[in-house]
Chain A
Amino acid sequence: MQNSIDLRKKRRWGETLIQASLFIAGAFSILTTVGIVYELGKEAMNFFAQVSLWEYFTGADWNPQIDQFGIWALLNATLMTTFIAMLVALPIGLSISLYLSEYASHRARRTLKPILEVLAGIPTVVYGYFALTFMTPLLRGIFGRDVVDIYNTASAGIVIGILIIPMVSSMSEDALSAVPRALRAAAYGLGATKLETAVKVVLPAAISGIMAAFIVAISRAIGETMIVAVAAGAGSNFTFNPFEAAETMTGHIVRISGGDLSYDSIDYNSIFAIGLTLFFMTLSLNVISQRIVRKYREVYE
């Protein structure tokens, strides 16, 4: 036959190569995570061989010098800074996102978004000194010098809040913008005002994405290190007073690993136990946020 057609399989080496390298890139991130968990777990095991899980998870005092390893002293400080941060970031971030998606003109959006991105790009150590040299004096000016310590969780928490505002606002804005225009039109068609439309129709419709944004922001606040290391204080302190110095989990890891530590001491092992705890906290928050997004997105579409 003259014009026979060749339908046999051909080897496409270029495709195979690219597919393989993409797979390696994907596998790389998984392997890294596995490696981190393995290393954290190994050292943490050494720690828990000497300190019982019970003591670790119920104690409220963390004084390695006298063999007290109660995580709550550090965990409490972490929760305090995180809580304060969310108190700042949620309302402001959500307001910004509502403004950007429902109210802002094209021009306002074009100016505001890059500014927010700049805010997200500032190194966190700069934020740390911003907390220490601006926010703390401000708080001391307002509440009095004897009320507010030089190092305190309030100042660190507020500045962490500022740090994560761009994250909350941009993720929430994505969620709000994804709400179909038809829903807004429906609300306006019923005689709703702009505010009623934004708050009672668009916001509830975007709630899954907004919740996810909040949870991701919480896990970012929990993991934030430089700000608390600089501004929240050194030395564990179980307190609910936001104006007292207290050391967070991340802050403690930084301080301990920065000093002289012999490799097999219980101090050294303890920071891996803390690290593992942090890892599971943020991991479970991320899992929850993905669940929320998946669950509510089905309903909404």
Chain B
Amino acid sequence: MTENKITYAIEAADLNLYYGETLAVRDIDMQIEKQKITAMIGPSGCGKSTVLRAFNRMNDLIPSAHATGSVLYHGKDIYDEDVDPVEVRRRIGMVFQKPNPFPKSIFDNVAWGAQINGYQGNMDELVEESLRDAALWDEVKDKLDKSGLSLSGGQQQRLCIARTIAVKPDIILMDEPASALDPIATLKIEDLMHELAKEFTIIVVTHNMQQAARVSDFTAFFNLGEDHAGVLEEYDVTSNIFTNPKKKTTEDYITGRFG
């Protein structure tokens, strides 16, 4: 973008993603800036979640899925033979569409990820810090031993964010993190994303264009190509995408003419 040497948080180059023989996403070239919020928008089925999941190899869990091209993280292609996806996911965490806390206590929900990753420090402190950062501490500090499932949907989602940041990742991937929540819980999550962006790089898939406009610094618009594979149509600073899109399809989509 400038002559200054910018190192990105993560970078997809010539990335193609397949489910079995079907090409789901084609030729993605995309650089994600550090400590910014990048939103991925687009019509259903255009592969934005698939791209998101490619960033921490969550697609590996689907037996038929495979990728060509590369995803560079700290100069290393995470799809290289010698890369352990477990190590990748430890550094690139994920928050899912539906809140999915473990059927464990609130404390254990936050502590578990850190524990399996060999965290040696004071666990009480880490749990409190993570819950504070997730703006949940005041609501749960008196019931840390209660099941994570006893919380409301919005609280559960913030608990899931707390457990993700307890692992101290570089990047947090969020797959429509507020789509199962009511408007007030959604706003809390959005506020939280702003806070988290001071420390983490955030990539968020959303169906809600207002949300993308509200929270993100950069927006990537995905669309279905003629061969029904998803393509990255336009990628720019969020204000440009929403006020001055370069492509007609982007404009049509954000003005609600399709999708």
Contacts and interface: CB of A to CB of B under 8 A. Distances in A.
Contacts of B163: 190
Interface stretch (B83-91, B204-212, B239-247): B83-91
Interface string B74-111: 00000000000011011101111010111110000000
Interface stretch (B3-11, B26-34, B112-120, B187-195): B112-120
Interface string A181-193: 0111111111111
Contact of A190 (B90, B147, B149): B90
A187 B89 CA distance: 10
Interface in A187-241: 187-193, 196, 200-201, 204-205
A234 to B, nearest CB: 49
Give the interface centre of B56, B61, B91, B167 by most chain A CB atoms within 10 Å. Answer: B61
A200 B147 CA distance: 16
B24 interface: no
A300 interface: yes
B116 A191 contact: yes
Given A188-B61, A190-B167, A192-B86, A300 B94 contact: no
B96 A190 contact: no
Given A186-B160, A190-B116, A205 B61 contact: no
A299 interface: yes
Contacts of A184: 61
Contact of A185 (B61, B87, B101, B167): B61
Contacts of B102: 183, 186-187, 201, 205
- Residue with the greatest number of chain B CB neighbours at <10 A, chosen from A186, A189, A200, A301: A189
Contacts of A183: 100, 102-103
A189 B56 contact: yes
Nearest to B101: A186
B96 A200 contact: no
A144 interface: no
A35 interface: no
A300 B86 CA distance: 27
B67 interface: no
B100 A188 contact: no
A189 B171 CA distance: 12
Nearest to B115: A200
B100 A185 contact: yes
Interface in B54-81: 56, 58, 61, 63
A180 interface: yes
Contacts of B100: 180, 182-183, 185-186
B164 interface: yes
Nearest to A301: B149
B223 to A, nearest CB: 26
Interface in B132-174: 147, 149, 160, 163-164, 167
B164 to A, nearest CB: 7
Contact of A189 (B87, B89, B149): B89
A205 B101 CA distance: 11
B61 A299 contact: no
Q: Tell me which of B94, B95, B163, B167 has the highest count of chain A C-beta atoms within 10 A of its own C-beta.
A: B94
Nearest to A184: B61
A291 B104 CA distance: 20
A149 to B, nearest CB: 48
Contact of B167 (A105, A191, A193, A299): A191
22 contacts: A183-B100, A184-B61, A185-B58, A186-B100, A186-B102, A190-B89, A190-B90, A190-B164, A190-B167, A191-B86, A191-B87, A191-B90, A191-B116, A192-B86, A192-B116, A196-B116, A201-B112, A205-B102, A299-B103, A299-B149, A300-B149, A301-B149
Closest 6 CB pairs of A and B: A191-B90, A190-B113, A189-B94, A182-B100, A191-B89, A186-B100
Given A186-B96, A300-B149, 20 more contacts: A180-B100, A185-B58, A185-B94, A186-B100, A186-B102, A188-B58, A188-B89, A189-B58, A189-B96, A190-B112, A190-B113, A190-B116, A190-B117, A191-B87, A191-B113, A192-B86, A201-B102, A201-B112, A205-B102, A299-B103
